Amino acid sequence: MVIQAKTKDRFQRITRGACPAWHAVRGALVMACLSQLAACAHFQPKQLSAQTSIAHFEARSLAAPGLRAFLAANHVKEPAPSADWTLKALTLAAFYYQPTLAEARERLLAAQAERITAAERPNPSIAVTPGYDAGVPGAVHPWVVPLTFDWTIETAGRRADRLAVAEHQAAAARWDLVGTVWQVRSQLRKALLALYAARQSEALLTQEAGTRRDLLRLLEGQLRAGNVSSYEVAQARIALDRVIVATQAAAGRLQQARIALAGAIGVAPRALTDVRFSFADLRTFPLALTRPVVRQQALLERADVRAALERFEASQSALQLQIARQWPDIHLGPGFAWNAQLAGDREWELGLSLPLPILNHNQGPIAEAKARRALAAAHFQVVQSNALTQIDEALAAYDSARAQLRTTESVQGGLRNALHSVAAQVNAGELQPLDLANARLAYQAGVQECLAALVQAQQALGRLEDAMQSPLTVAQKFMRTAQSQVRIARASP
């Protein structure tokens, strides 16, 4: 649909043989191009070198000024050189250095940048198609200079629907970042627990090896006296060798645990060479974790559940956008043409164009959007169902591990009393030193069983924290502060 109007007027030519209207149009175009160039973004290359990245990684330290500032921003005092790093301080160090958090943060920034694209309006366009008409006899200036515009007006609230899609996608990316925060904390806690278990196991095995050496020495004396057989001495020697092998394996696990802990923090292993650690947080257990309110809150606040819900809302907004696209946009196309010839005509026109929804009504994209919404709803149900199962399984495993730990602690108490009784009887001359060595071995075995039960219970607690994605052993305020700070933290050497 085109509406035209025509006006004529004579005007003074600026220079003979030239087209004044064309000069004006050219000047306007030049000014428009210059203004656009001034407003455009320019590419700035960014260097990425594997060697430089490795150098920065190797230079990371728990004594870095940037890390100290990050700890202070989260109200955690940096441990002194002779002090121990707690789980809370190590968690913040991991939040500061861990590259997986940097990647998740950049994903969030990319999702937030998509909102800028969604909010943009279509740019108008201009078209200039100058022509030369020498067919008119006696024409002084046979130039024809048409100038047309195209201005798109979006209808049916499409821009608002695009913004809604982008907002929900950005919210989903924010929850993905929260989930990554929990993954980082979970890996750090597992690595610290493995370090604690390996260190304690090595110490207990070293004590057992010393006791077995004493036992072997006593049995060799009994063998010389003819009170025991060589078979018993050989069995004691084999048991000692097995303990030595187990001690060496524990030392290897200790080194591996230190490397894993460094990786969980995001630093090189040598950065932990002189660092001391506190394991007090790994000997405590929170109470009342089976309360229905805790379970319900965890089920509603898990990061993956919230992210799936936001993606469902995004699919719903995307369906609204496709439905809105049934209605065509309006295109305004005003134009102006100058044709001097003999009369010096100037023509202007008002253009209005609409696509005709005759062959389709956007049924295909609408059907695809409906299917994606149904898929997002099904995925949300799967995520929530898996979360419910994971929470219930973790609660059951945690209760069972706590019961086993209480039993082993009771057994250890009985073995301790038995050891004290045997020691008293040896001092009184009622029993032999060999009996004391055997009682000490039994007690040490009980201590190792208690350590294994403690580690198992702490592992169950870690799985429960992962299932609930809730700071069961850390204040909620601390985690929220860490999550907000990690978005702006920049790891530096």
For 230-259, how does the pLDDT look when each residue is reduced to its tens digit (9 = 90+)? 999 999 999 999 999 999 999 999 999 999
- DSSP conformational letter for 121: P
Structure confidence at residue 16 (pLDDT): 37
Structure confidence at residue 29 (pLDDT): 55
Share of the chain above pLDDT 90, in %: 35
Which distant-in-sequence residues (6+ apart) come within 8 Å of 316 by Cβ?
A: 373
Per mean pLDDT, which range of 1-10, 13-22, 108-117, 392-401 is the poorest? 1-10
Best-predicted range by mean pLDDT (85-89, 128-132, 489-493): 85-89
Confidence band (pLDDT; 50, 70, 90) for 17? Answer: very low
- In sequence order, which ranges of 325-362 are alpha helices (DSSP H)? none
Mean pLDDT value across residues 151-171: 89
What sign does the dihedral 352-356-361-364 (CA atoms) show? Answer: negative
What is the C-alpha to C-alpha distance for residues 104 and 487, in angstroms, rounded to an integer? 9
Per mean pLDDT, which range of 110-114, 208-212, 297-301, 312-316 is the poorest? 297-301
The total number of residues shown for the chain amounts to: 493
| pLDDT score of 471 more than 60 | no
Mean pLDDT value across residues 365-372: 93
| pLDDT score of 287 more than 90 | no
Per mean pLDDT, which range of 101-105, 262-266, 289-293, 296-300 is the poorest? 289-293
Structure confidence at residue 483 (pLDDT): 53
C-alpha closest to that of 148 among 289, 337, 343: 337
Mean pLDDT value across residues 117-140: 74
| pLDDT score of 14 more than 50 | no
| pLDDT score of 328 more than 60 | yes
Which residues pair with residue 7 across a beta bridge? 346
Assigned superfamily of 2-40+78-122+131-483: Outer membrane efflux proteins (OEP) (1.20.1600.10)
C-alpha closest to that of 146 among 125, 171, 127, 122: 127
Please report where in the chains the tokens 């295109």 appear, as a residue: 331
Best-predicted range by mean pLDDT (53-57, 155-159, 350-354, 382-386): 382-386
What's the gap between Cα 491 and its chain centre? Answer: 15
Structure confidence at residue 374 (pLDDT): 95
H/E element, 451: helix 433-468
What 3-state DSSP class applies to 341? coil
Structure confidence at residue 373 (pLDDT): 94
What average pLDDT does the structure give for the chain? Answer: 82
What 3-state DSSP class applies to 32? helix
| pLDDT score of 389 more than 70 | yes
CA angle 359, 118, 28 (to 5 degrees): 90
